[in-house]
Structure 1
Amino acid sequence: MSTLTPHRADPPATRWRLGWALLCAWRGFALVFLSIPALALFITCVVFMALLPIGVGLLFFFPLMLLLRATANVTRSAMASWAHVPIGTPYRRLPAGGGVTGLWARTKRMITEAATWRDLLWALLYLPSSLLIACFPMLLIVNGLHGVLMPFLWEVAYRHVDDAQWYTFIKVNSVQRAGLAVPWGLVQVAAGLALAPWFARVNGLWNRSLLAPTKQAELALRVQHLTESRTDAVDASAAELRRIERDLHDGAQARLVAMGMNLGAAEALMKTDPDAARVLLAETREASAKALHELRDLVRGIHPPVLSDRGLADAVRAVALESPLDVNVNVSLPGRPELPLESAAYFAVTEVLTNAAKHSGGRHVEIDLTYTDGTLRITVTDDGEGGADLMKGTGLRGIQRRLDTFDGTLALHSPVGGPTTVIMELPCDLSSRKTSPF
């Protein structure tokens, strides 16, 4: 994930408030302006789909469907934030490749996906459904205001018109008859305001019935996600093994070889030049201390002992103490996750903290570890300059790949000027807290 989940600042749809009701009615009216391009895209997509056999449609159908998917995604976001009806994205990753072959592979994938046909059906029905459902409260309110203003309109515009005016079922041919429209108009305004939140919810559910992924699509997306996360996990493990091999070869192994050579030389000089032998032995002792230190660092990089002994909370506190930044750690964990997931969470926090120290330009970092509803949630916030981008650099993407192995998610919010907030969530079960003798 590249963005944070929007905070639900709006009151719930079941709670009637004047401002909230007006907002719901206005949002429903605004959706009509999104449904018009959706209908235009439906028409053009169908036309160029029919032209696919002669090759002309191949050049236009794919980009037009991408625009239609973007329009559908805007509606998904609107339903999630406006109607509090989250709608998942059903699209699988499109095949890569350039040229006509790659374009045909992507077009073929789109045509064979059920999500494409559901998007087309949604685009066809979006305008009438918006007019019937989303706009209905606003139409009631506008028509009600027309009735409330009918006495004024009679005096200004309708008095000099020969034909009688009709306001719904009320025939307006005098100022007294115009006054009868006022209470009926007020009833319509009140009805529109009362119905607006409910109709927003109904409209969200209607759009979800067409835009949400089907069971087959969810299964396909799940298989694709597991395949990609498994590949990433294998690649990450291979890269980690290569790193360990390189560190051993260039560090501890080289020192051990040098120690062996020094001991052989010291043994040869023991009788002829004891002073030189003692110098070599001192160098060997110093090299052994450095080799031991490197081995400890290597072990800590694989799986730090404090993580096994004391758990995630104390391991994160230990990392915070070693950081050059002022780090405050807040922990609310009733137990410990499984060791592999605990290790992934630990190294993810370590990487985020390292990135903050190197690139944020801040001085203070706040780390919160909480567990609610079967999810381990880790929030890291720094007071740096912001501007971090999940798509730039490899650090955050590496963390995301690490979390993907455990079905975890990463969300980043980093406006220019800061602060930067990284939220990592890992679904897991916690064991009972281990009692430490310390």
Structure 2
Amino acid sequence: MATQYGQYGSGYGYGSDYGSDDESGYGYGSEHGRRRRRVPTALREPVSGRHWRELAYVLLGFPISVTLFVFTVSMLSAGAGLLVTFVGIPVLAAALAACRGFGALERARARGLLGLEVGDPEPLRVRAGGGAMAWMGAVLKSGTSWRNALFVLLQFPWAVFSFAVTVAVWTFGWTLLTYPVWFWVFPMYGGQGGLQLYGDEQHQVYLDNPFEITVTALVGLLVTLATPWIVRALTTVDRLLVHGLLGPSRLVSRVVELESDRGVVVDTAAADLRRIERDLHDGAQARLVNLAMDLGLAKEKLREDPREAARMVDEAHGEVKTALQELRDLARGIHPAVLTDRGLDAALSAVASRCVVPVRVEVDLVERPVAAIEGIAYFTVSELLQNISKHSGARSASVDVWRVENRLMLQVEDDGAGGADASGGSGLAGLAGRLDAVDGILVVDSPVGGPTRITAELPWRGVRG
């Protein structure tokens, strides 16, 4: 699913440089790009650069896999056999270390020829000052080492199969396709009419007349056109093997993702604390300081000028009301009491009532999510409604909340100008980062001219009575 983030602004940010029918197309110049697009993809594939790279990957895979398989099996067998002595441990460690090097080689080969980007697995964790024994222990305990060895063992039979199928299909197709060019070899040097289809003591069938030669070339054309897709299907298995066995494990990837998400959560919490401190310092705190000073002046004037003192007390009373309202707004921004007491339906209705455009709110939830998810949902909708008030120019908006299996769905829609932009640093980009920190997703559908539809998905983590 395509995901876009951004804020109301100047469209998706693609612009005219992305490519159009009358522009540079594939980047080779406008006229060349148009000529290439006139040729169907199926006819271009047999001579495309991608096909030749995939073909090279399969052809190189055979000798490489044979070499790696023989080395790995020999070393692992020797190491396992020598485990009765201490010598087996360093032999096994050396074999697995070599497999890690083979894995790096295969990742580079897949990146260069298949365009497959696979991240490096986790490095060895060797205890500082442990020496050779610590290194051997780290290699033997590393799951990456054993996955790389498993890749070598599994890739060998597949590489042999892929090589045999690719060479057979490719040579068969091109041989038949070019038969009209070289069929003269048979009568001139072989003493027969052409390529023999069938032969026994009484009958021989040769492809030697113009019709048979044409049909042979057409069959070769079909096989040649099918060859790139056959090779691509074979290399798909290689992609799966490289991605599954030579990349970082799912557990390590998840740990890295959680560490990144934790950093986002920490940064967000720190930013919220700074915002609260700034609001208190510049708002309620400043008003209370001025209030104390005004009350001090009123106390001094109470005996000399009671009327002036009463006026100052009246002004101080207004300042108290303003400070109380600011404190209420600040408390609502931290966590509104209505959300805790009555849930999303009432809390979102209260937010919608403060929006500058009419907002329809519909919350279809049988039970409430946990407090953390409920709070994130509330502040997500609040920020989206603020964007509508400030940027959209809409006349109406709607908020829908529902649950789909283990996901909490939020959708905010307006009939404004649209044109959500995915530029970094925007409000919605920051909101998307906050959702991502809890395995959430933000999807923006905002064509220029509107309407804008923003959908957020959050995990449904438990229920609360």
Structure 2-normalised TM-score? Answer: 0.55
- 1:231 aligns with 263
Q: What SS does the aligned partner of 1:426 have?
A: strand
Where does residue 377 of structure 1 map in the other structure? 409
Partner of 1:276: 308
Shift of 1:357: 3.9
Equivalent residues, number: 354
Q: Does 1:386 align with 2:419?
A: yes
Shift of 1:92: 7.8
State the 1:2 CA deviation: 7.5
* Contiguous gaps of at least 5 residues in structure 2: 6-40, 62-104, 124-141, 199-204
Which position in structure 2 is the counterpart of 1:288? 320
Say if 1:393 and 1:176 are closer, same or farther in 2 by CA, change over 3 A.
Answer: closer
Aligned pairs for 1:179-328 (under 5 A) are: 204=236, 206-212=238-244, 217-328=249-360
SS of match in other structure, 2:403: strand
Deviations 1:47-72 (A, max 9, x none): xxxxxxxxxxxxxxxxx999978778
**In the alignment, which of 352, 355, 361 is matched to residue 384 of structure 2?**
352
- Partner Cα distance (1:91, 1:414) in 2: 37
Are the aligned partners of 2:53 and 2:114 in contact in 1 as well (CA < 8 Å)?
Answer: no
CA distances 1:245-291 after superposition (whole Å, capped 9, x unpaired)? 11112111122222222223333333332211221121111111101
What letter corresponds to residue 389 of structure 1 in structure 2? A
Say whether the 8 Å CA contact 2:361–2:398 is kept in structure 1: yes
Give the secondary structure class of the aligned counterpart of 1:334: coil
Matched, 1:35 2:67: no
Residue in 2 that maps onto 1:11: none
Equivalent pair of 2:409/2:455 in contact (CA under 8 Å): yes
| Distance in structure 2 (CA, Å) of the matches to 1:41 and 1:387 | 47
**Residue 51 of structure 2 aligns to which amino acid in structure 1?**
V
Quote the offset at 1:41 in angstroms. 12
Q: Structure 2 vs 1, CA of residues 198 and 38 (structure 1 numbering), >3 Å: closer, same or farther?
A: closer
Q: Which deviates the most, 27-36 or 374-383?
A: 27-36
Residue 73 to residue 362, structure 1, CA distance change in 2 (3 Å): farther
- Contact 2:122/2:144 (<8 A) preserved: no
| Contact in 2 for aligned 1:164/1:172 (Cα 8 Å) | yes
Task: Write the distance in 1 (CA, Å) between the matches of 2:165 and 2:375.
Answer: 50
CA distance in 1 between partners of 2:253 and 2:270 (Å): 26
How much does 1:241 deviate? Answer: 1.3
Deviation at 1:351, TM superposition (A): 2.2
Inter-partner Cα distance in structure 1 for 2:395 and 2:364: 24
- SS for the counterpart of 2:419 is coil
Q: What residue number does 1:104 align with?
A: none
SS at match of 2:421: coil
Mapped to 1, the partners of 2:396 and 2:162 lie a distance apart of 48
List per-residue Cα deviations over 1:210-254 (Å, max 9, x = no partner): 224668532222222222222222222122112111111211112
Aligned positions of 1:154-173 closer than 5 A? 164=193, 172=207
* CA offsets 1:302-344 (integer angstroms, 9 cap, x no match): 0122221222243333323322345444443332221112112
What is aligned with 1:410?
442
- Matches of 1:71 and 1:416, distance apart in 2: 39
Change (3 A) 1:173 1:35: closer
Q: Which has the higher contact order (CA 8 A, sep 6+)?
A: 2
CA contact (8 A) 2:291 2:320 kept: yes
Q: Does 1:431 align with 2:463?
A: yes
Superposition deviation, residue 388 in structure 1: 0.8
1:111-167 deviations in Å (ceiling 9; x for gaps): x9979x89x999999999888889999999x99x99xxxxxx9xxx99xx9955659
Larger radius of gyration: 2
Counterpart secondary structure, 1:351 = helix
Q: Distance in 2 between matches of 1:38 and 1:389?
A: 37
Contact 1:307 1:315 in 2 (8 A): yes
> 1:422 deviation in Å?
3.7
The separation in 2 between residues aligned to 1:228 and 1:238, in whole angstroms, is: 15
Separation in structure 1 between the aligned mates of residue 266 and residue 409 of structure 2, nearest angstrom: 25
Give distance in 2, aligned partners of 1:303 and 1:297. Answer: 10
Amino acid at match of 2:323: A
Alpha-carbon separation, structure 2, partners of 1:339 and 1:41: 56
Judge conservation of contact 1:252–1:291 (CA < 8 Å) in 2. yes
The superposition leaves residues 156-215 of structure 1 with CA deviations (integer Å, 9 ceiling, x where unpaired) of x99xx995565977855679999x99xxx8xxx9xx99xx99998886555323224668
Relative distance call for 1:388 and 1:362 in structure 2 (3 A) is farther
Q: Distance in 2 between matches of 1:71 and 1:174?
A: 45
Letter in 2 for 1:386: G
Q: Could you tell me how far apart the structure 2 residues matched to 1:198 and 1:369 are?
A: 46
Q: Kindly tell me: are residues 75 and 245 of structure 1, through their superposed partners in 2, closer, same or farther at Cα, counting changes over 3 Å? A: same
What is the CA–CA distance in structure 2 between the aligned matches of 1:324 and 1:263, rounded to whole Å?
A: 37
Q: Give the secondary-structure state (helix, strand or coil) at the position aligned to 1:379.
A: strand
Q: 1:215 to 1:256 in 2, by over 3 A?
A: same
CA distance in 2, matches of 1:367, 1:25: 50
CA contact under 8 A between 2:444 and 2:455: conserved in structure 1?
Answer: yes
Taking the aligned partners of 2:370 and 2:170, their CA distance within structure 1 comes to: 53
Q: Deviations over 1:351-390 (max 9, x none)?
A: 2333344344554545443322312233344453325115
Q: Distance in 2 between matches of 1:377 and 1:272?
A: 65
Closer, same or farther: CA 252–177 of 1 in aligned 2, 3 Å: closer
Q: What percentage of residue pairs aligned between the two structures are identical?
A: 31
